[in-house]
Structures are given as structure tokens and as C-alpha cells.
With several copies, the nearest count.
Chain A
Amino acid sequence: MDKLMQDANRFVSDMVEGLVLAHPDFYEKVEGVNVVKRKDGVSGKVGLVSGGGSGHEPAHAGFIGEGMLSAAVCGEVFTSPTPDMVLEGIKAADGGKGVLLVVKNYAGDVMNFDMAKELAEMEGIEVDTVVVNDDIAIKKESDRRGVAGTVFVHKVAGAAAQEGRSLSEVKAVAEKVISRVRSMGMALSPCYMPESGKPGFELHPDEMEIGIGIHGEKGVERKAIAPVEDIVRELVDRLTNEVTDKKIALMLNGMGGTPISELYLTYKYVHEQLIAKGYDIVRPYVGNYMTSLEMHGFSLTLLPVDDEILGLLDAPTKAIGFHS
């Protein structure tokens, strides 16, 4: 297996250590667990915690910083972190005004974050939760996964917290984003789990997967690799079926092994097709935001915006993983 690593069991802890060593003035690791927090603290504001399995870098630790997350909980690769870890994240993010948990909609994440919330409440910390489910590859809404749209939730809720809004206000704007944001992804090649050395799915080099998850879950459809214009059309058509408001922010997100050249090349076709359908792309974000190890592919996220969301998207953030 082609991976830069020392020992699969230390994949996450080595990564977290490296991140903190590279940005010593910015991050702090919570002793004994793979939880990272803002070194400058969050006192007097609502704290924002996210996380989940690792392997989605720069999510979630890369979105820590003024104007975005307060702490990130880094589970094993593609494995939801345990409640005690999440509790450490909540404590690290507690600035006295309550803590909002931004959870992606996976059974494991929901259960572990819920248990942590119960533990934190026993310690007297006010905690609330939002669950992101933007992945339209899954038909049933209650089963929809949280994918790249989560990053918009981090950004908008983080800016609202930074403005000094209350926990319920921050939660409300996070839910506004969640109710609007929709995503779908595809892969040209799978990702390989560090420990098992196996791919999430077996894929013939001439085939691609449409509607993949971000944990190596295979897609909902397998096809011959097509010219990018056709791939984009499939995703754009499905997304525009659901997202009918025309003024949108957009995220074209690389899956980890996709070179920037291909992302920008792809963006050309995304742009053309959405413009042709009458959309007004007021904020395009192109880059790696919510990845899946070294998977080669992309996801497309559409978020209808109003003035409130736009203002919060544009608010400055120090998070090193969020660039516009």
C-alpha cells in the first residue's frame, strides 16, 4: 500500500502531532487524546466542536481557528471518536456560553456525540447538537450522510459564534444552512485503509463510482469513466433537482488525491452548466475541504444563500484549512 506512514496504529496520532508541531502558536493538543483546540481559547463566546473519524483532512482540525471551530475530535480513520474523546473536545471548547456540536449524520457519530453530550451536561456544560445530512446520493432523507456541506456549517456557525451570538442563535443559523445545503460526490479510484491496506471498494481502472461516501463507501452507481463534462452533468442535474434557489455558494471539493489542476478544470464545466441553468454562483470555493484519504474524485456542494449566510461566509477566519 502506498502510504507515507510509520505504523498504521499511529496514523492519526502522528498526524495530529505533526499538525500541532507545524503550527505551535495556533493549535494545542489535549493531553492524552487526539483532540485539538484553539490555542487562543474561546472565552465569552459559544464554542464549536466538530470531528468524527479521521481521514478527511483538512477536516476537521484544519477548520479550527477564530471564526470557525474551537476544537476538533479526531477519531481513528473513518471511525467515529468515542464519547470520552468528544467530552474532552467539549471541555476544550467551553468558553462559558455553551457548546454547539456539529455532527455528520452517521449512526456512530450521532451515538458517540450524544453520549458525550450527556456526559458534558452532567458536568454542567450547556451543549446542543446539529446533525448535517447534505448527501443526496442517499434517497431517504433521514439516512443522508454528512459530507462536504459540513464545512459551510462550520464556517457560518463559527462566524456567528465569533459575532457573539447565543448558543440558540448559533444553532439556528447552523440549521438554516443544513436545511439548504446539498452535496454529491464521485470517485475515479478508491481510498485504502491504513490498517487493513485494503481499498474501500474494488474498482476497475476504467470505471468510476457516482454517489460515493467519504469513508470509502462505494457509490450508488458504477459506470465507465466519462469525460468530465458528462460527470459534472450527472451531479449538477441531480443537485439542481433539489436546490432550486438560484443564488448559491458552491464548493467543488477534492477527495484527497485529486490534483488542483483537475479541480479547476472541472470547475470550468460546473460553472458553465450552472450558469446555463440560470444559477448565480456568488461564492465558488474550489479545493480540498472534506477528503477521503487519497481518494481521487470530487464532490459538489450547493448552498442557497441569503444576506445573513453570505455575510457569515465572508467573515474573516484564521482557520488554516479554509481558503476562499
Chain B
Amino acid sequence: MKLTTNDLRTALLNAADKMEEHKDELTDLDREIGDGDHGINMSRGFQAVKKELEAKQDFADLGELSKLVGMTLIKTVGGASGPLYGTIFVKFANTWKGVGEAEGDALVSGFEEALEGIKTRGKADAGEKTMIDVWTPFINALKSEGDLSHAIDEGLAHSKTIMATKGRASYFGEATKGVQDPGALSSSLLLNELKEALHD
């Protein structure tokens, strides 16, 4: 498995389109167990990313690209998801500084750093019905060279069944069981595009 700078750029452009497509769905889920802005937040952030990436085609390496994306998300998304998605890309940037293509351990450790970053920033862990529940199985599959698509789907499906204990969704306790977490869904959209960018 290998991730090139150009493929990551393409994946992010595609992810931006996916966020737009699912904007209303993300917002409606957030109305159910949050405050009804997740689609709006993701759209604002990823449209800003798209604009940046359309303005600049060539990046020196994964680090430079990830840093721009992370800073853009931090500056435009807001809410809980802004710092979290921003942190993901800032961690990518730190791990892949000067790296044009990541593979093997270098690839995995970027994702591991990102997940650690989310957990530290959000003071959260797997099993709390957040985006973490999609990132965790994805990374496990990446490490074990398992089926990434399947991992994302499984994570998403499992996170739907459990009770929220972090973020706004936690206010609704038991009632969150059976409702899809909006951040888990947006993460699955992003990870599905990243998966497309990874190839042997």
C-alpha cells in the first residue's frame, strides 16, 4: 500500500464532493442527536479545502499538502469536528514531513498519529459513538492488510448501535442507540476516498 501526494490531493477533492452530496444527511443526523450543523460545518470546511487545492496543484510532499489541509479545516470548520479533522491532517503533516510517498510503517504511523491526535484532543476513546469508531477499525485493517472498505462499513454499522458518551450526542443517552453518529458518517466518506488513493 502506497499513498502519493497527488493521489491524496485527488482523494481530498473527491471527499469534498462527497461531503457536499451528503451535506443534508449529515445535518439531519446531527439534528437527531446533536445541534444540526455537522453537514454545514463539513461543507464549509471541505469547500475551503477544495478551493485551496484547486488554486495550488503542486505540493512538495504529503507533509506540505496535509499541513495546508489541516490549517484550512481548523480555520473554517469550527465546532467539535473542526479541531478534530484539523488535528488529523496536522498529525499527517508532522509524520509525513518531507515525504513524497508513504508506504508500509510510514503510512500506518501517519494514521496512528492522527487517531492518537483525535483521542487526545477530544479526550475520547473507541466505543463512545464518535468518528473514532470508524478510524479505529480502518487503521486496524490497514495494519493487518485487511479489507479497508469492509472495516469502514463495519465500524460505521457498529457505531450506530452503541450509546454516545462524548460530544453533544451524549446528552441523549440511550436514545442515541440506533442513530448514526454524523461524525462517524463524515469520517467514513473521507476514509472511503483515502482508501481509493491507496494502491499497491
Contact = CB atoms under 8 A, between A and B. Distances in A.
- Say if the two chains contact directly (CB < 8 Å): yes
Interface of A: 53, 75-84, 106-108, 111-112, 115, 137-138, 140, 143, 145, 193, 195-196, 198-201, 213, 215-218, 220
A216 B40 CA distance: 15
A79 B78 contact: yes
A79 B24 CA distance: 16
A285 to B, nearest CB: 26
Contacts of A137: 171
B167 interface: yes
B132 to A, nearest CB: 12
B74 A83 contact: yes
B122 A107 contact: yes
Given A108-B81, A111-B83, A195-B40, 9 more contacts: A76-B41, A78-B35, A79-B78, A106-B168, A107-B167, A145-B171, A196-B40, A198-B27, A198-B31
18 contacts: A76-B37, A76-B44, A79-B79, A82-B77, A82-B82, A83-B75, A84-B75, A107-B168, A111-B122, A112-B78, A112-B83, A115-B83, A143-B170, A195-B37, A198-B27, A215-B36, A215-B168, A216-B36
Given A111-B122, A198-B27, A78 B171 contact: no
B114 to A, nearest CB: 15
Interface string B159-198: 0000000111011100000000000000000000000000
Nearest to A144: B171
A218 B75 contact: no
Most chain-A CB neighbours within 10 Å: which of B28, B39, B82? Answer: B82
Interface in B63-82: 74-82
B166 A107 contact: yes
B24 A217 contact: no
A67 to B, nearest CB: 29
B84 interface: yes
B34 interface: yes
B121 interface: yes
A115 B82 CA distance: 11
Contact of B74 (A77, A84, A196, A217): A84
Contact of B171 (A53, A138, A196, A216): A138
A195 B24 CA distance: 11
Contact of B36 (A78, A107, A140): A78
Contacts of A80: 78-80, 82
Contacts of A77: 37
The prevalent SS among residues of A at the interface is loop
Nearest to A84: B75
A93 to B, nearest CB: 20
A138 B165 CA distance: 12
A83 B27 CA distance: 23
A287 to B, nearest CB: 24
A143 B123 CA distance: 12
A141 B27 CA distance: 27
Contacts of A216: 31, 35-36
A106 B80 contact: yes
Contacts of B81: 108
Contacts of B77: 82
B36 A79 contact: no
Most chain-B CB neighbours within 10 Å: which of A79, A199, A220? Answer: A79
Interface in B128-171: 166-168, 170-171
B83 A83 contact: yes
Contacts of A140: 170
A111 B171 contact: no
Contacts of B39: 196
A132 to B, nearest CB: 16
Given A75-B78, A111-B121, A145-B171, A217 B34 contact: yes
Given A196-B27, A215-B35, A217-B35, A112 B82 contact: yes
